[in-house]
Structure 1
Amino acid sequence: MRICVMVCAHVGPDLADVLDPYLEMFRRLLAPHLPEATITGSMIIEGTFPASVEDHDVYVFTGSPHGVYENLDWIRRAEQFVRDAAAAGKVLIGGCFGHQLIAQALGGTVVKSDKGWGIGVHTHPVLRREAWMDGGPDRPNVVVSHQDQVVEAPQGAVVLAGTEFCPNAMLRIGEKILTFQGHPEMTIPIVDRLLDLREQRVGAEVFAAGKASLQKPLDHDAMGAWIAGFIRRALDASAGKTVAAE
């Protein structure tokens, strides 16, 4: 199993002491649940893409400080890569910016939400539990940090989790694409720092609520298990193995 983390962000000096490179964070999230996987990375934010969509079985698109609607060459290339990889039957996973990138590339709509900032630890209730979501909570707590949202999912997408604030918090698009607005790869110290850095931008009320939310226990390991379960199921289907009905 070959997994490529498609890195969409640099780690700035104001986060370097709490935020590891995205490749390492996703390795920590997924490797315990996918010990058979080889997990490598590609710095697509620097214009470095895999030579072919056939190079890997799974592509994981990370978060980013950028908006998917920005007219940047690497973002447009990433959108085309998503379409090509989807057409080739590859498994695609996206978190935060990656969630939005995949949705937009496949016909969805992403905007800077008029609901404002979501930052801290949010609870994303499961609206539809599928076979690969074995165990885990019905109301997982996950780190979030975003203004942008998928306001219109791609045609045929299934909403797996959502809230009034973020209705499209987790999507399954077809049988091989899973995306989520949260950051299950991140930790409390990371979002605590993000809150401090963005206090003036998010406003006093959102800042206070975000700080208070840091007391919630995270369900990131369960989400890592779900992502791994989805990947295994999708790859088994590609290999012609029988999979359980949803």
Structure 2
Amino acid sequence: MRPPLRIAVLECDTPLPNADSRYNGYGGVFTALLKSSVKTLDQPDRLDSETDLQISRWDIMNGTEYPKLEDVDAVLLSGSRYNSYEDVPWINRLVDFTQSVLAQDRVRLLGICFGHQIVARALGTKVGPSDQGWEISVCDVDLTAEGKELFGRDKLRIQQMHQDIVFECPPDVTLLGSSPCCAVQGMYSPRRFITVQGHPEFNEEIEDEIIKFLTKEGVFSEIQAQEALSRVGYEHDGVSIGATFLKFLTEE
């Protein structure tokens, strides 16, 4: 019997009420994505969605406990409403932990949106607000040659929800793609990490709830919100990106 793939999801935020009720935290959101991605792979000799994924959840925003690296095979850093560049205790601890993952060569790392930025910060690269403003809803990402090879397609469509960016790709790291609003849409280091600025784990319902909440809070204008909502149901490559993550985590 093969051992399970042990993935620690570091929950860097809590979903809004409807999504939280449905999925029980971002650990649940990513569990849904990864199980769907296993089915898309359709390689039962390699991974089974029910028996071969062992996903643990870590509320690192409200707690100080992190997984022991000897107990996991991969660490996934979730998105967050908070700023990856802030000098606050829980974010500083997360950066330190991420550096400890990057310093070894067995446990692999996935970074999503805020998590993508945390990986960049841990590597010493500048992160902060974009002068292009928000990138929201389903958007196109132009892939580099390496990005096309990794994801197996010429372009990505992915749900977005960010105004902060990674300003440049760190040295000795492969750039995966870019968009007009964001020059670094993904980063890759073989057998070490993959990151994406977008949200492969978001579906139409999750994104719709966030857009409407932030509009009510005055973050988005009505015009901005309506334009984003007109694209929120577009087909996107979230599950395919999840499958790429799983291939990366299981490759020798």
**TM-score interval w.r.t. the shorter chain?**
0.7 to 0.9
Structure 1 distance, partners of 2:151, 2:221, is 38
Worse-matched range after superposition: 190-199 or 6-15: 6-15
Is 1:122–2:139 an aligned residue pair? yes
User: For this pair of structures, how many residues does the alignment match?
Assistant: 233
Worse-matched range after superposition: 107-116 or 119-128: 119-128
Q: CA contact under 8 A between 1:42 and 1:48: conserved in structure 2?
A: no
Q: CA deviation at 1:114?
A: 1.1
Equivalent residue, structure 1, for 2:81:
65
Q: CA contact under 8 A between 1:91 and 1:177: conserved in structure 2?
A: yes
Q: CA contact under 8 A between 1:62 and 1:94: conserved in structure 2?
A: yes
Is 1:97–2:99 an aligned residue pair? no
SS at match of 2:230: helix
Structure 1 distance, partners of 2:241, 2:136, is 18
Structure 1 distance, partners of 2:148, 2:9, is 25
Structure 2 distance, partners of 1:47, 1:108, is 26
Q: 1:147 to 1:198 in 2, by over 3 A?
A: same
Equivalent residue, structure 2, for 1:181:
197
Equivalent residue, structure 2, for 1:88:
104
Equivalent residue, structure 2, for 1:203:
221
Is 1:162–2:166 an aligned residue pair? no
Q: Percent of aligned pairs with the same residue?
A: 28
Structure 1 unaligned spans of 5+: 237-246
Q: CA contact under 8 A between 1:132 and 1:230: conserved in structure 2?
A: no
Is 1:3–2:21 an aligned residue pair? no
Q: Which amino acid aligns with 1:140?
A: L
Q: Which amino acid aligns with 1:30?
A: L
Q: CA contact under 8 A between 1:119 and 1:206: conserved in structure 2?
A: no
Structure 1 distance, partners of 2:67, 2:9, is 14
Structure 2 distance, partners of 1:81, 1:31, is 26
SS at match of 2:138: strand
Structure 2 distance, partners of 1:3, 1:188, is 25
Structure 2 distance, partners of 1:18, 1:31, is 16
SS at match of 1:4: strand
SS at match of 1:167: strand
Q: Which amino acid aligns with 1:67?
A: N
Equivalent residue, structure 2, for 1:24:
28
Q: 1:172 to 1:51 in 2, by over 3 A?
A: closer
SS at match of 1:64: coil
Q: 1:18 to 1:189 in 2, by over 3 A?
A: farther
Superposed CA RMSD: 2.1
Q: CA deviation at 1:49?
A: 2.8
Q: CA deviation at 1:14?
A: 6.6
Structure 1 distance, partners of 2:151, 2:133, is 33
Query: Among 122, 126, 137, which residue is 1:109 paired with?
Result: 126
- What TM-score does the superposition give when structure 2 sets the normalisation length? 0.85
Structure with a larger share of its residues in strand:
2
SS at match of 1:222: helix
